[in-house]
Amino acid sequence: MRGFGSDELNRRGFLGSLGFLAGSVFGGQRLLGATGATSTKQGAWMGKITGLGETGNVYEELGLTTVINGQGTETVLGGSLIRPEVKAVMDLAAEHFVVIMDLEAAVGKRISEMLKLPQGYGAIVTSGAASAIQNGYSGILTGSNEAYIKQIPDLTGMKSEVIIQRAHRSGWDHQIRTAGAKLVEVETVEDVHKAISERTAAMHFLNLSDPDGQIKRGDWVKLAHAANVPAFLDAAADVPPKSRLSDYANMGFDLIAVSGGKAIRGPQCTGLLIGRQEIVHNALLNMSPNEDTMGRPTKVGKEEIVGVLKALELYLAEDQAVLDQDQWQQLDMISTKVSKIPGVTVTRDVPEIANHFPALQIHLDPARFSAKPHDITEQLARMKPSIVLTEGPNTIEMTAIDLQPGEDKIIGDALARVLMAHSVRPA
Ligand SMILES: *Cc1c(COP(=O)(O)O)cnc(C)c1O
């Protein structure tokens, strides 16, 4: 199997690149034998697809409406779109068997080098940030003890409590409890001192809740280390900026969970567990492919493991300023179309933590519209393709991180049309 250099792409010209695209769009089945079609050197499918996929839109074939995604990297909408080059590399990964534990080790080593993680840190690929949380906690609780690995979530003999700020309990801690740990809620530093005992296994921090809790992330790490327990950070949606992939390790967090299928644009079912080599390794012992483990259902396949590594490589090479610029341009297009409508004002910002990319808030004066934001977003969602935006009490909000070229115009036109239809004169 040869690689696919750009020279070769040029030499093969249009047909070559068409094959490249077809393979990346339609998956990596290798064609064997007598159906008359050919396969490229990359193993990309060149045959005619019959049955599912024959129209080129599998979702419509299944009776579904595809979505123009103005919400951003939401798991319920499919995470993000994998870059064609990543799909091509996933096809390559699908062509061989490999020892998964060795693959995890090799990919983890590559990730550590790419991110320039501090000495003693490593990484593994999990089936999402939620999986990184569950398996990370399993690793903290069991260590490398085989009997414990088989025993959890029964924590008899193990530490059993994880300290968390009350303000950080916003729906992302189920996986800690799944691993068997009991959450101990605190609010103040004083509470932390009282909560720490020989049962304390770790201290958990939900990064996006940093502004809501009394104890900030830097102090949280210090408190954990003073108590001699690991500090765990859920930073699932905290890239961009890319620097955050190593910042939190440099800050001292012992384990960090990151989504692979959000802004990094890896496969939706991937995540990274970054952290102290030993705990990361113990997390891996607790998950697929290892049998009789808590994390056996959190399988991540060889194609996805390689896919998120490639996605990370491409993501790190990207110029964030250019990406932001493109997104602002798309949002400006929408803003221009709707801000002319009486009763509409538009603001824009970039959230500081979590989903740190351009966002637009379209404020609707309730006196000037006969419909609420909820009714308007519902109406847009019922269109074909469905347009999915976020609603607030008096706002409609959106990002452009997942918009494809031309979709800004579709959204702008549709939104302006719907807003105009509900426009009323002031009494
Ligand atoms: C998205 C998200 C997760 C879950 O990540 P997955 O990669 O979808 O498993 C966990 N925590 C936070 C804060 C998130 O935003």
Are the beta carbons of 227 and 200 closer than 8 angstroms?
yes
d(CA 31, CA 6): 24
Ligand 1 neighbourhood includes 275 CB (under 6 angstroms):
no
Q: How far away, in angstroms, is 225 Cα from ligand 1 center?
A: 25
- State the DSSP code for 402: T
Q: What is the DSSP string of 272-326?
A: EEEEEHHHHHHHHHTBTTSSSSTBTTS---HHHHHHHHHHHHHHHHS-HHHHHHH
Please give the pLDDT value at position 42: 57
Closest CA to 215 of 248, 189, 194, 233: 189
- In a 10 Å sphere around its CB, with 0-12 CB exposed, 13-18 middle and 19+ buried, how is residue 390 labelled? middle
Please give the pLDDT value at position 352: 84
Q: How far away, in angstroms, is 273 Cα from ligand 1 center?
A: 12
Please give the pLDDT value at position 47: 87
Query: From the first residue on, what is the mean pLDDT of each consecutive set of 10 residues in the chain (427 residues)?
Result: 33 31 34 40 76 96 97 94 97 97 98 98 98 98 98 98 97 96 98 98 97 97 98 96 96 98 97 98 98 98 98 96 95 96 95 89 96 96 96 95 96 97 86
Query: pTM for this one?
Result: 0.88
Are the beta carbons of 314 and 86 closer than 8 angstroms?
yes
- Tell me the CATH number of domain 320-421, given options 3.30.2270.10, 3.90.1150.110, 2.30.40.10, 2.60.40.10: 3.90.1150.110
Strand pairing of 200-206 and 231-234? Answer: parallel
Every domain range in the chain assigned CATH 3.40.640.10:
97-317
* CATH architecture entry for 97-317: 3-Layer(aba) Sandwich (3.40)
Ligand 1 neighbourhood includes 237 CB (under 6 angstroms):
yes
Ligand 1 neighbourhood includes 172 CB (under 6 angstroms):
yes
> Is the backbone peptide bond immediately before 297 cis, with ω within 30 degrees of 0?
no
Ligand 1 neighbourhood includes 304 CB (under 6 angstroms):
no
